Copies of this chain bind each other. A is one copy, B any other.
């Protein structure tokens, strides 16, 4: 099957998109890096935009799986898992190869909410938010959606600040703030 080639193409593309941006990365460079012919690309995707969407969708599934498995490995109690979100985040954004969140970058370069690329990225963010809300519900928060919304802002804030500053303490600072928010909600109930 062509699964291998296709997957390799999508993975290579995402790596280059992250480092250099979507518009700044040309098809030819992706093909050269992946060692794939141009016609193979256009036999699998009908445009560069379709390749971008495929890359985002693939990374969506991989990232959510990774996040959930890390959180579950790092903590057992529901309340602790809300904070383990930030430990997992720290592992990611403090890495040497961190180039920011692909989905944020996609929304930045494709501003229109109706754009398929923006929509795919936004769908991913919604999935992450839902996971945070489920953790908040499990932790017995008074208003899980509200707590999740606030923690989500800290998560996204840490991602973008870590990308801009490359400061490795960013996620830990977000965790410290999250501790206050979680404690305030759980003791209030």
Contact = CB atoms under 8 A, between A and B. Distances in A.
Q: How many copies does the complex hold?
A: 2
User: Looking at chain A, what size class is its interface with the partner chain?
Assistant: 35 or more
Given A108-B108, A109-B108, A156 B150 contact: no
A184 interface: yes
Contacts of A173: 146, 149-150, 153
Interface stretch (A29-37, A55-63, A160-168): A160-168
Interface in A140-189: 146, 149-150, 152-161, 163-166, 170, 173-174, 176-177, 180-181, 184
Contact of A21 (B111, B152, B154, B165): B111
A72 interface: no
A154 B19 CA distance: 26
Contacts of A166: 113
A139 interface: no
B121 A164 contact: yes
Given A150-B177, A156-B157, A174-B153, A163 B108 contact: yes
Q: Is the interface of A mostly helix, strand, loop or mixed?
A: helix
A153 B163 contact: no
A122 interface: yes
A104 interface: yes
A99 interface: yes
